């Protein structure tokens, strides 16, 4: 099996979004860049709890299947378009988590209200204009919303997209965005919310880059 380690990582992340209740059924998708032309993406319509690394699909930048037994995710145009537009992006996780999607349905950005949001995401999560799932228009709208180095966006009436330099980081972005959305919705039931300032956000984001243990 070619690109075994990348396929295993994509499959593992797909199982994680399922176990974390970020998706139900067969919705959502995951991919990881191989090089400037190729990426590994989850297959279309297969149950998460039955997935294995061999089920992952390798496609090129045009969405053509290079390796794999299955049709790639319906959102493959979204993934390939992001990789072409954002050379810094190495991994993409797309989920339909309930609280983040509530903001997408309301056409409201997820506000920057938590230190974790500032540290991991670093910006409010904006909403890309609505387009039909799997369409080139959806990919175009997403790219427009990701044009300033954003790590996460909402797709109107659809879900959340996280882009990062690794699958683990993209998954973390999804989890933090969902947590932030949940807390924002609950806080609004009590009263108003108070977003972090741009200055505090920048400081928190910068400090997080050196967070943790130093490598020896």
Positions marked catalytic: 75
Residues with Cβ within 8 Å of residue 82, at least 6 apart in sequence: 89, 92, 139, 142, 143, 146, 161, 163
Cα dist. 38→78, 86, 97 in Å?
Answer: 14, 14, 27
Where does the chain show beta strands of DSSP type E?
29-33, 39-41, 57-59, 65-67, 91-95, 127-128, 152-155, 159-164
CA 155/CA 138 separation, integer angstroms: 8
Query: DSSP letter at 187?
Result: H
Residues with Cβ within 8 Å of residue 20, at least 6 apart in sequence: 175
The C-alpha angle with vertex 54 and arms to 40 and 39, in degrees rounded to 5, equals 5
CA 56/CA 40 separation, integer angstroms: 7
């Amino acid at each position: 099996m070619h690109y075994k380690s990348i396929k295993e990582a994509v499959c593992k992340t797909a199982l994680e979004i399922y176990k974390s209740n970020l998706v139900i059924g067969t919705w959502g998708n995951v991919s990881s860049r191989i090089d400037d032309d190729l990426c590994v993406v989850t297959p279309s319509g297969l149950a998460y709890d039955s997935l294995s690394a061999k089920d992952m699909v390798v496609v090129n930048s045009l969405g053509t299947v290079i390796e794999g037994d299955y049709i790639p995710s319906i959102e493959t145009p979204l993934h390939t378009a992001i990789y072409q537009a954002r050379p810094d992006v190495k991994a993409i996780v797309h989920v339909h988590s309930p609280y983040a999607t509530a903001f997408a349905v309301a056409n409201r950005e997820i506000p920057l209200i938590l230190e974790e949001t500032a540290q991991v995401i670093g910006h409010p999560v904006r909403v890309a204009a609505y387009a039909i799932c799997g369409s080139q228009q959806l990919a175009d709208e997403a790219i427009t919303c990701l044009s300033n180095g954003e790590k996460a966006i909402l797709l109107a009436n659809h879900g959340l997209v996280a882009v990062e330099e690794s699958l683990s980081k993209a998954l973390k972005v999804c989890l933090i965005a969902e947590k932030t959305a949940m807390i924002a919705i609950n806080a609004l039931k009590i009263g108003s919310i108070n977003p972090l300032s741009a200055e505090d956000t920048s400081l928190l984001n910068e400090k997080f880059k050196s967070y943790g243990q130093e490598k020896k």
